[in-house]
Amino acid sequence: MKKRVFVVLFMLGLCYLLIKIEPFLQEDVKIKSLRLSNNSDTSQHKASQTTRKIHVENSDIYQGNLLLVNKQFTVQQESVRTDIVNLFDHQNLMQGYGVLDNNIRLSEEVAQKFMDMVAAANKDGVKGFLISSGYRDFKQQNALYEEMGSEYALPAGNSEHNLGLSLDVGSTQSKMSEAPEGRWIEKNAWKYGFVLRYPKDKIDITGIKYEPWHIRYVGLPHSAIMHERNYVLEEYLSYLQEEREISVKVKGKVYTISYYPASQTPAIEVPINLAI
């Protein structure tokens, strides 16, 4: 509970910090810790910023793309994305890939990001993407859990699929661990805000077996940092909690990411414009 609270407050700050993203000019990701607030660069930088206060409501605590859902942290009903759509009813969101059946649902925003990613993969000649599962409501998750058992599915509320931010992606070529689609995702998904949520080398942290098909939307610049540092979401959130403030340059744009504990005042101060 505590962790999730932290994350959402952090995301609130982030909303005011993000700069519009432009097409790739470079793929470098440069991360800098701003933890030492007496660092002269940081002090100067802060002094020159105009800030404003954001008031945080209790309901805000459970919002955002960085929500952590695992066996320990469950999905709150208010965390479910409100822009869930049935993909089959939105053919404009289904360009460049297929769906396993006509009932697959997903956050509209995430579907758009996925389509952008697939368009880039298509340009690289990788064209066999197939979504096999997207958003699942608690009832569907429970049915899956009861039918498949704990080896294959998580209980209702403990699956990221219940948020609307995760999807399972297959390949029409072969199984994802060997398919060009799987390899492409592993290498490039971060550029579009997605991460492979259950990698082979992080089973001891995630508690979930290797799933080359399950991707999660966290958004940029988070996906870039996670890729650069080889962090899964659990590790990334601990890292932010420890650092409190970092600066990252992605695609030629500079972001500052700040982490606010929920136990702090209900108002947080963020810069109005972070363009450097």
**Residues with active-site annotation:** 211
Give the residue with the Cβ less far from Zn ion, 4 or 214. 214
Closest approach of Zn ion to the CB of residue 73, in Å: 16
Give the residue with the Cβ less far from Zn ion, 168 or 181. 168
Residues contributing to the site for Zn ion (CB under 5 A): 168, 214
The half-sphere exposure of 15 on its side-chain side, counting CA atoms within 13 A, is: 16
Sequence-ordered list of residues with C-beta below 8 angstroms from that of 140, at least 6 positions apart, any chain = none
Instruction: Tell me the CA distances in angstroms from 142 to 97, 101, 137, 226, one per residue in order.
Output: 28, 19, 9, 30
Give the residue with the Cβ less far from Zn ion, 131 or 250. 131
At 201 the three-state DSSP class reads: helix
Measured between alpha carbons, how far is 25 from 147 in angstroms, rounded to an integer?
47
Closest approach of Zn ion to the CB of residue 90, in Å: 21
Give the residue with the Cβ less far from Zn ion, 69 or 121. 69
Give the residue with the Cβ less far from Zn ion, 105 or 214. 214
Closest approach of Zn ion to the CB of residue 161, in Å: 6
Query: Tokens 């492409």 identify what position?
Result: 184
Measured between alpha carbons, how far is 160 from 167 in angstroms, rounded to an integer?
9
Residue number of the CB atom closest to Zn ion: 214
Using left for φ > 0, alpha for ψ between -120 and 50, and beta otherwise, residue 51 falls in: beta
Measured between alpha carbons, how far is 181 from 174 in angstroms, rounded to an integer?
9
Closest approach of Zn ion to the CB of residue 116, in Å: 20
Query: Which strands form 245-250's sheet, in the order they lie side by side?
Result: 29-33, 245-250, 253-258
Give the residue with the Cβ less far from Zn ion, 34 or 215. 215
Measured between alpha carbons, how far is 124 from 120 in angstroms, rounded to an integer?
7
Residue type, 89: D
Closest approach of Zn ion to the CB of residue 133, in Å: 6
Measured between alpha carbons, how far is 266 from 128 in angstroms, rounded to an integer?
47
Measured between alpha carbons, how far is 71 from 60 in angstroms, rounded to an integer?
22
At 47 the three-state DSSP class reads: helix
Whether residue 80 contacts residue 164, with contact meaning beta carbons closer than 8 Å, is answered with yes
Closest approach of Zn ion to the CB of residue 132, in Å: 9
